[in-house]
Amino acid sequence: MHELSDDRLAAAGVRLWLVHDSNKPRKLKYNLIAAREQGHHTLLTFGGAYSNHLRAVADAGREHGFQTIGIVRGEQTLPLNESLAHCVAQGMRLSYLDRSSYRRWRLHIGDLRRRFGEFFLIPEGGSNALAALGCSEIASGIDARYDLICCPVGTGGTLAGLAAGLPSGTAALGFSVLKGGDFLAEEVAQLQREAFGRVSPNWQIELGFHCGGYARRNAELDDFLADFHARHGIELDWVYVGKMMLGIFALAARGRLPSRVVALITT
C-alpha cells in the first residue's frame, strides 16, 4: 500500500492510495473450504481463454489437492496460449464450449456431470456468495483513513464483498470493465443477499469506462496507461485495473470524488 503522488489529483484535492490485493485467492478461500467439507475432490469452473480465474483455480487445485476442470469459452486453438498452458501444467483438464452454449452454461451442468462425474462448481470469475464472504475481509487489511474505495468490476463478487465489509462512513465504487454492464448492479445486490442477507447501501457502479468492452481497449486507455507508466513507473493491467484508474482520474478532474480515495489493485 502506498500513496500515489500526482499533480492532477492534487489539483483536484484528492489523495489516492494504491492497495495491492490478490482478490482471486480471497474469492476461492471459502469455496475451497466448502468443497473439502462436502467431500469433493474435483473443482469445475468456467473462463475465457485468457482468464486469470482459470489460472487461480488451477493453482489452488494443485496446492490443495483437488483435480480441476476448466470449461473454456470458444473453440480450442493450438498451440495453447500462455494462460491455458499454465493451467494444463498445473494439472487442469480443459474442455470447450462454443460461445452460444457458454452463455447458457447453467443448462449444461447436467451434461458436464454425466461427462466428468461429481464436482464442486465454481462459477465464472469465482463470483458467488462464498466469494463475497472472502472479499468482505479485504477492508480489514487496509491501514488508512479513507472515504471511498474503488475496484474493477467484471462479475461483481469483489465489489459485493468489499462493500459489505467496509467500516461505517465509507463507500465503494466499482468500475465496470464490460460494455452494457447495467445488469451488474443486480448481480452485486443478489450476491450480497445470498452472502449477508441484505443489500448494503454504500456502493455504486460506474459504467462509462469500459473502453469498448471486456478485454478491449481504445486510444484513450492506451494513452492514459502510457502516460501513467511514464509518470509513476507502474504498468497497469489494461483489462481491469487500467480502466478503473482511468475512471478515477477522470472523475477526480470532474470534481466527483471525495478527498481520500483508495484504489484496489487486483490480480
Please check whether residue 18 lies inside any domain of the structure. yes
Dist CA 117 CA 31 (whole Å): 19
- Under the banding of pLDDT at 50, 70 and 90, the label for residue 221 is very high
Question: What is the structure's pLDDT at 26?
Answer: 94
In a shared domain, residues 146 and 114: no
In a shared domain, residues 142 and 215: yes
pTM, 2 dp: 0.91
In a shared domain, residues 246 and 138: yes
Please check whether residue 124 lies inside any domain of the structure. no
In a shared domain, residues 107 and 225: no
Among 118, 151, 175, where does a domain finish?
A: 118
Please check whether residue 31 lies inside any domain of the structure. no
Share of the chain above pLDDT 90, in %: 89
Give the closest residue to 167 by CA, choosing from 149, 151, 153, 185: 149
Residue span of the structural domain in which 170 resides: 2-23+129-266
Distance of CA 28 to the CA centre of its chain: 12
Share of the chain above pLDDT 70, in %: 100
pLDDT tens sequence across 119-178: 999 998 899 999 999 999 999 989 889 999 999 999 999 999 999 999 999 999 999 999
Among 88, 118, 148, where does a domain finish?
A: 118
In a shared domain, residues 114 and 135: no
Among 118, 143, 173, where does a domain finish?
A: 118
Question: What is the structure's pLDDT at 105?
Answer: 80
Please check whether residue 33 lies inside any domain of the structure. no
Please check whether residue 7 lies inside any domain of the structure. yes
Question: What is the structure's pLDDT at 137?
Answer: 96
CA-CA-CA-CA torsion sign (81, 83, 86, 87): negative
Question: What is the structure's pLDDT at 60?
Answer: 97
pLDDT tens sequence across 97-111: 998 888 888 788 999
Please check whether residue 123 lies inside any domain of the structure. no
- Run of H or E including 159: helix 157-164
The strand pairing partners of 261, in sequence order, are 16, 148
Rounded mean pLDDT, 178-188: 96
CATH number of the domain at 133, please. Answer: 3.40.50.1100
Please check whether residue 11 lies inside any domain of the structure. yes
In a shared domain, residues 134 and 110: no
In a shared domain, residues 113 and 139: no
In a shared domain, residues 205 and 226: yes
- Would you say 170 and 144 are in contact if contact means Cβ atoms under 8 Å apart? no
Question: What is the structure's pLDDT at 106?
Answer: 78
In a shared domain, residues 6 and 133: yes
- Under the banding of pLDDT at 50, 70 and 90, the label for residue 214 is confident
Number of domains the chain is built from: 2
In a shared domain, residues 206 and 76: no
Question: What is the structure's pLDDT at 101?
Answer: 86
In a shared domain, residues 161 and 47: no
In a shared domain, residues 7 and 135: yes
Please check whether residue 182 lies inside any domain of the structure. yes
Dist CA 236 CA 122 (whole Å): 27
Res 267 pLDDT > 80: no
Q: Taking CA 84 as the corner, what is the angle to CA 83 and CA 88, rounded to the nearest 5 degrees?
A: 125
